[in-house]
Structure 1
């Protein structure tokens, strides 16, 4: 009897593990790592009720006993009923506890069970040690109540897959060689293992036999199983999740439970599709540089092994907003209902009101618009994605290049759009063309084909006027291209007086109106031309005409007299005159009827020689050798008898001494 008791004590000691002041053991099983679960409390061994008993509870028991993983969590006293007491009931473990007493329960000795509900556990005879968890590490199997290693000769992924499946650690990720998880100690139980991959236990695969090997612990085989791949964590390590186009974004994807230095392939997803991948053991950083609108969306990550055949769950999501504000529009608003458009933009009349409206099609509500003119800024809150900037009275300080910028705040950040196209505003002063009426000089004038005819010496006035809305200017009177005179406008008109017209006043006249506004000077276009013609006075013309006629008449009379005398001279030069008997006796006498009391008879004796010339003396009385006498009556009734002896082809070239006798009859 003492021997059996001693044997039982030895077995119990082999299966007992103490933690937190409590010991645990497995009894009545097929080996050291299977049986009914019992706990030592207050010096007595007691059972555990199977209420809520599961694989997580069994895993804690197997790990606490160093038996690797749990194959099964048994209920209904599968390994036989124990004896009082029943120490635990309603045990609930998370699976990570180091001892069963750390799991939640109703309290020691508190239960509503019987021993027909005693819980049991079957642990595996294979384990993975020196890894980060129970699903990766150096492979060890239990034989003859002793844990020993496996040699890496012919060790491959099929062998690792059997171990992972046997340990319920998911799929095999890798099958490391050369004591990757450190060298074991004790026996090397297996060598030249060759599994097909479908076996239920490593010992079912072909091998050289338990304990037969030609290895050392430098060749200890290892396994990395996927286990329960944990959900990775995706975090944004750049400053903001709301960014502008062109900014950089950085994410980090991390697994909370790396698989024993096995490289995982991490993937970054946006709105579903993967956009990047990197390989690392536990975490990677994804850098997205100069992002555009296409990078806006919902991001997530995962990791996988064996070229994607073993995948983790997807991570949490991170929303990234790429704020792309469209370029605002800046339409040309009509001032007071209308405006002209110049080569560059609208022409706004000085003094008129005008409004500039900025608008956008932004997908973000609220915001503000900024109106820029060079370095000047005005702002207005956006209402329905637009804002109006009013200018009640245009002046030249409003001229310039205008542009709009839309601004919005998102996630404590401020974003601005690009500037709109330029709107070039020009402030104009439109001066109407002046009028230049034709003013009547001295009460009247004639109008020629081109304009007024101003009598020479008369006064006349030119009046320029306009209907400009800008009073207080001046009028310029131009003759041709020269400024004749300048007058300040009085009631939008000015008079230019000419007190005495002369020919220097002739020409083409025009008016220009000039006004100064905001320290700038503006001129209207020139009026229509007024053509001034200066004409002569009528009386001087008549006097001159009469004088000219008299003068002409006098000239004509003189010419006739000269011609008559010349004719007479010509006759004298063609004849040679002589008196009968060599002398000419001329008797001149008045008739008795016309004789005065003091009349005297004149006797004139004239001797003519050949070649005698006749001078310009007084009228000569000549006796001509002829058959008849010529009787010449004079105005004073004197009778002249002339005898002339004419000799052909002779001329008178000289004149003799004359003896002139005058007597009264």
Structure 2
């Protein structure tokens, strides 16, 4: 049985069915039925259409595009520049004799059967009359995959009369009622024995339109039709990780949500925990975005703490071989540079065996010989000989640094304050928050300031501009507490538009000031390697300055000299201040620093300069003068000593003569007489 209708809608096909009439069901252009009820045109409501027609389960859905569309302003608040949307015709197929009810998906529920084209009521089937081969036929008839679970009363028990004959399918039939059945009828069935059937989801996941099967737009096949995936409320990193793993591709390299014109999508349950995306299927949907995902096809990092860390595993290009860890002895720093580049990460920061767990799996058997410039690890040369064993604990564990330059703060003169923007797949967008965790203890705020090397997180403001609605990245701050990078906690909600943005303030708001010396009229300064020599006795000036950011503020000059600290303070005039010192002496030697203070964004900020060392020097002229003075002094001293010595000698002689004259006159006279008396013989 095929049902045809036509809709035009930017989101879910809810209200723009122009006119649909199938048997007794008539739906107007507002989605209103003849009995006054509204039908929400998603997968659940389309299944409800089958039920109201007394048909079975929804088997397939096909859309035909390109019918003339109308102007839909009420549902396009963000798309007023393009209000004209093409309408589509939907064609659904219901089963006519079997259905699954009370299930969790289109392919699960309590099995009920009705004779072909009859007006009889639907009858549950007794578990004793149904086996695995019968289940295979039912799952095939409903467009699902093979049966995965068969159990009585799994989806509720009923009091209704049971189907009265036993099915005897071979498993190859296309419909349950094509199977043979027993001649005898069953009148009773034990309580709790109505068949509950779970078929696997039939369909698939792919990345379409990229360079290889591991890159492109995410698409899902449901009800025999491929459509892009609408990932509302999803953490895009988590989604990309599921897809890369399901396709047996490597690590996530990049992901982004790309704006499109309104298109039909398969919607998935928000942040579904299933390992397969097929198990996260929710409904048919309309969306303005598609998901672009790029996975590596030959390398991956597993068991890591971020996209850029983990145990390295390799697989030959486009092969069906399993992933192999790499032995530490076959891998070096240049090889690591190539892997980090291939995965879209920054340079390698750590390389160590068994850092992210050891494995028993066979190792990659050849040594990599990369030059470091290659774009992919498998582009590198490798050794001819193969390695059969690798010592335990030697599987390569690699940590690459985070991708550089993927966040920034804009709109202020300081790079450490402003509107938070994030770069994903070469596209910069503002960041809006989806929770209330941006307080002083916020891990997300701390991560922003840390990644920008801007000190500690100080405060944030949520700004709104209703006149400026723009595409944004959404971020969950509580997620950052468990992750190492902001990018891993980025997600999108709806069509990723918002009038909100986040203004982040970090503590290292002010630029680092400079400290330098200025020549004074009576002194000469010589700057050498963050030091300055000042002439002894001269005047000198130290200048504190900072690049223009905010007006006002003041400078504090801190001096550590002669085992004591001194502070000098001057207001900032034209973003600088000059500190003058007179008659330099030994007390001026030491280390000087400039600290710039300012009050902005309702907070006091400060920033400190590098140290400047001041030493004392004496000029050549002063040295010569000093030497001359010393020489003259020495000459005067020597002259004085000589004169003093001569005076002393003269005084000594005079004293001797005086003593002789006064104390020895008689003897002298006798002698003189003897000398003059003639001698006789």
The two structures have a TM-score, normalised by structure 2, of 0.32
Q: Which has the larger radius of gyration?
A: 1
The structure with higher relative contact order (CA 8 Å, sep 6+) is: 2
Normalising by structure 1, we get a TM-score of: 0.33
Which of the two has greater helix per residue?
Answer: 2
